[in-house]
Amino acid sequence: MLRTAIALVLMVCAGALPAAAKTVKTDTILVAPAVTNPGAASIPDEDLPDASGAGNGDVEESLPVIEEDLQPITQSPNAPTEVPQVFYGTSSLPPLVARMHDQLMDAAKSGDMEKLRMVLESNEVPPTLSLTETGDPIEFLKSVSGDQDGLEVLAILADTLDAGFIHVDEGTPQEMYIWPYFARYPFSALTKEQKVEMYRLITATDFAEMEAYGVWLFYRVGIGKDGTLHYFVAGE
């Protein structure tokens, strides 16, 4: 009997026989139904934040904002604000100014850089052709031209002199006649017709860059009231 009792105990522990049922005390939990808003949009599960507070659609997952990138482009202090009177042709020019204009135009249309050299050398002072050192003026103009003969620069000079011009600083030592008038004209005041004139000299991409800074950055010609060529230059 003792041996039989021990065997039965071992079988129960090993799971061969069902053990006596064990009563577990349980509590009934009532879950209140979720209150829904029929007009509210449902949020996909993947957009819900996880335990760390960040989800797949979390805004904080985006690239950091660099403060420098938010800085607006500072316009040049030289940006024009007043709308000047625009002139066309040469009939209103003083004789000496008209003479220099015509000499430059003839040299440009000839396609001969040496003719332009003659005009430059006859000038009272060496005109400004660059904001940096240039050396020989004709060789410099050839070096910045799209072709090796400087014909592109001559074409730009002719188109510039053919545009409308303005008369600035009248009655002062800085009195000047400037081509094209866009060099001293506020961009915000340009009409569509004027922009068509402008696009004969530059591209829309060029203008977008200039507009950001508020100043004309392409070629311009400045002739003093005594007929002296002061500059044929690009840049600010």
Quote the pLDDT of residue 236.
Answer: 73
Contacts of 207 (CB under 8 A, 6+ apart): 187, 195, 198, 199
Tokens of 49: 């934040």
Kindly indicate the confidence band of residue 222, based on its pLDDT and cuts at 50, 70 and 90: very high
Q: Is residue 38 part of a domain?
A: no
Q: Is residue 67 part of a domain?
A: no
Kindly indicate the confidence band of residue 79, based on its pLDDT and cuts at 50, 70 and 90: confident
Kindly indicate the confidence band of residue 134, based on its pLDDT and cuts at 50, 70 and 90: confident
* Cα distance between residue 203 and residue 198, in whole Å: 8
Q: What percent of the chain has pLDDT over 90?
A: 62
The verdict on whether omega for the bond into residue 180 sits within 30 degrees of 0, i.e. cis, is yes
Q: Is residue 33 part of a domain?
A: no
Q: Is residue 184 part of a domain?
A: yes
pLDDT at 178 over 50: yes
* Section 85-105 average pLDDT: 97
Q: Is residue 35 part of a domain?
A: no
Quote the pLDDT of residue 77.
Answer: 64
Quote the pLDDT of residue 74.
Answer: 59
Read off the pLDDT of residues 31-62 as tens digits, 9 standing for 90 and up.
444 444 444 444 444 444 454 444 444 444 44
* Cα distance between residue 114 and residue 137, in whole Å: 11
Kindly indicate the confidence band of residue 129, based on its pLDDT and cuts at 50, 70 and 90: very high
Is the distance from CB of 232 to CB of 129 less than 8 angstroms?
yes
Read off the pLDDT of residues 6-32 as tens digits, 9 standing for 90 and up.
444 444 444 444 444 444 444 444 444
Quote the pLDDT of residue 132.
Answer: 87
Quote the pLDDT of residue 35.
Answer: 43
Quote the pLDDT of residue 78.
Answer: 67
Sign of torsion over alpha carbons 52, 55, 59, 63: positive
Give the predicted TM-score (pTM) of the model.
0.67
Q: Is residue 176 part of a domain?
A: yes
* Section 169-196 average pLDDT: 96
The residue range of the domain holding 122 is 95-233
- Total domains, the chain: 1
Q: Is residue 2 part of a domain?
A: no
Kindly indicate the confidence band of residue 131, based on its pLDDT and cuts at 50, 70 and 90: confident
Quote the pLDDT of residue 82.
Answer: 84
Q: Is residue 74 part of a domain?
A: no
Quote the pLDDT of residue 5.
Answer: 45
Quote the pLDDT of residue 124.
Answer: 86
